[in-house]
Amino acid sequence: METPTSLDVPTVRGGRRQRRRRATVVTAALLLVVACLFVLTMMLGSYYVSPIDVITSVLGLRDDPTTDFIVRDLRLPTAASGVAVGLALGLSGVIFQKLLGNPLASPDFVGVSSGASLFAVSSIVLFDASSSAVSGSALLGALLTALLIYVLAWRDGITGYRFVLIGIGVSNFMVAIIGYIVSRAELYEARQAMTWLAGTIGQSGAGELRTLLVAVVVVIPLALVLERPLRTLELGDDTATALGSRVERNRLVLIALSIVLIGFSTAVAGPILFVALIAGPIAQRLTGSAGGILTAGLVGAVIVLGADLVAQQALPTPLPTGVVTGIIGAPYLIWLLATVNREGRGG
């Protein structure tokens, strides 16, 4: 067996430093792009506001009632929703994919978002619920659906393939019930439910947005702390156990964090599809093996903010944000399914 030469260690360390430098540069660049899109979202509309006026209004550096009303009251909630929802979707998606070792293991693909949608639509159609009640119902639906999938997928542990298959089955079941409920609803309620199901940022109240922002601020540091155990779990249960990792506890905590993020984001913006599915792979392409989960969250924020700008400003008729993300994500899903099937990575 060959032993490493004296040149191998510096080479390996140099390559590691280069990968870390690349990941740091990409993450910083994504943070800058998110900041620019955040400001741009508050600039554009029926009344144009200059970037300087946007920044001074948000920071409270100048008193201009007209500008402050447009920026702070009308546009800031939408921009803040875009950042928070994008971060939440990106983080939850990459945690699911790394945890289950499957590129199809996205919360909106394995039934979690469908469960949130079912509970939210039921509260709209059956109980004529308020906006806050709809958001609470969506969060409860996400949590209960994730618990159901976890219980059904458990068999001396969890495998990504089994979790995804059961999640797809649960998702189709939820979607069928949603279709039945909407078909039996009055026209106004059905229209309200379909608008919510399309998914768009800026449709929730201030209370729901504040709750999501608090959840993101709390969960992101926890997720970063648990990133090393997550990397250990990627090696497989046996290897992780041998390395001293508490496999099931760490898996449950990480899944819980992901479900909280997807639940709150769906409660605020509805089911904005495909963002959680594509954010992680894009971040991986940009940063390589050294990329972290925060990078995926920033990619998610860029996608949501960019999609909303396209939906609201670049099209003849404004559309929900989820329509644009669906147009982007559907071809990627088809390509991913074809690639997984061709390479035999489904299991």
Return d(Cα 153, Cα 145) in angstroms, integer.
Answer: 12
Residue-level pLDDT at 142: 86
Helices 247-269 and 131-153 cross at an angle (nearest 10°) of 150
Question: Does position 5 have pLDDT exceeding 60, yes or no?
Answer: no
The arithmetic mean of pLDDT across residues 163-183, rounded, is 89
Q: 32 or 333: whose pLDDT is higher?
A: 32
- Band (pLDDT 50/70/90 cuts) for residue 230 is confident
The whole-number pLDDT of residue 1 equals: 46
Per-residue pLDDT at 214 exceeds 90:
no
115-163, pLDDT tens digit by residue?
Answer: 988 998 898 888 877 777 887 888 889 889 988 988 888 876 666 678 8
Q: What is the pLDDT of residue 57?
A: 92
Count the Cβ atoms, other than its own, within 10 Å of residue 224.
14
Name 252's Cβ contacts closer than 8 Å, sequence gap at least 6. none
More confidently predicted of 62 and 84: 84
| pLDDT tens-place string over residues 10-68 | 665 666 778 788 888 999 999 999 999 999 999 998 899 999 999 999 998 888 899 99
Contacts of 122 (CB under 8 A, 6+ apart): 137, 181
Tokens of residue 217, six digits: 């601020």
pLDDT band at 244 (very low <50, low <70, confident <90, very high): confident
Determine the residue type at 4: P
| Cα 57-316-194 angle, rounded to 5 deg | 85
Please check the confidence at residue 290 and state whether its pLDDT lies above 50: yes
- Residue 130 half-sphere exposure, CB side, CA atoms within 13 Å? 5
What does the pLDDT read at residue 42?
A: 95
Mean pLDDT (the chain, rounded): 84
- Distance of CA 69 to CAs 42, 47, 63, 278, 294, Å? 11, 12, 11, 35, 32
Q: String of b and e for 267-288 (b: at least 16 CB within 10 Å)?
A: bbbbbbbbbbbbbbbbbbebbe
The band of 193, judged by pLDDT with boundaries at 50, 70 and 90, is: confident
Weakest-pLDDT range from 16-25, 269-278, 312-321: 16-25
pLDDT at residue 7, as a whole number? 47
Distance between CA 149 and CA 100 in Å, rounded? 13
pTM higher than the cut 0.85: yes
Residue 80 has pLDDT above 90, yes or no: yes
* Sole residue written with tokens 């906006």: 131
Fold of the domain spanning 15-343: ABC transporter involved in vitamin B12 uptake, BtuC (1.10.3470)
pLDDT of residue 160: 66
Question: In percent, how much of the chain has pLDDT > 70?
Answer: 91
116: nearest Cα among 254, 264, 219: 264
